[in-house]
Amino acid sequence: MLNSICLVGSLVEIDNKEPRIRYLLVERVYTNFADNLIIDKIPLCNWNKEVKGEIFTFKNNSLVAVRGRIETLNNNVVIVVETITYLGLKY
């Protein structure tokens, strides 16, 4: 089986209830019926030793590329970050 995911999006706030979680905002390629962009808020977790704490060093609205795997944490789906690449700031 293969459990791999690649995402590009904007890093946003840290979850105060779960300090190991940060969110990635990813825009969908299509709009809804009202012509509004749909943005998914995807939780990221950082358990890999190679990138230990790295997702917490970037500023809010940093544009990043993330490669990782899907896992469950407290009955919720999270992306465990394996590599992260800084692409710039999103304004």
Beta bridge partners of 89: 62
Token pair for residue 9? 């999006």
Beta bridge partners of 15: none
- Full residue range of the structural domain in which residue 63 is found: 5-89
- What's the CA gap between 25 and 43, in Å, rounded? 9
pLDDT tens-digit series, residues 49-85: 655 567 778 888 999 999 999 998 788 899 999 888 9
CA neighbor of 40 nearest in space, from 52, 48, 50, 29:
29
pLDDT tens-digit series, residues 1-52: 789 999 999 999 766 677 678 899 999 888 778 888 888 999 998 865 655 5
Give the per-residue pLDDT at 14: 67
Q: Where residue 39 sits, what CATH number does that domain have?
A: 2.40.50.140
Percent of the chain topping pLDDT 70: 85
CA neighbor of 78 nearest in space, from 49, 44, 51:
44
Q: What is the pLDDT of the chain when averaged over all its residues?
A: 84
Number of separate domains in the chain: 1
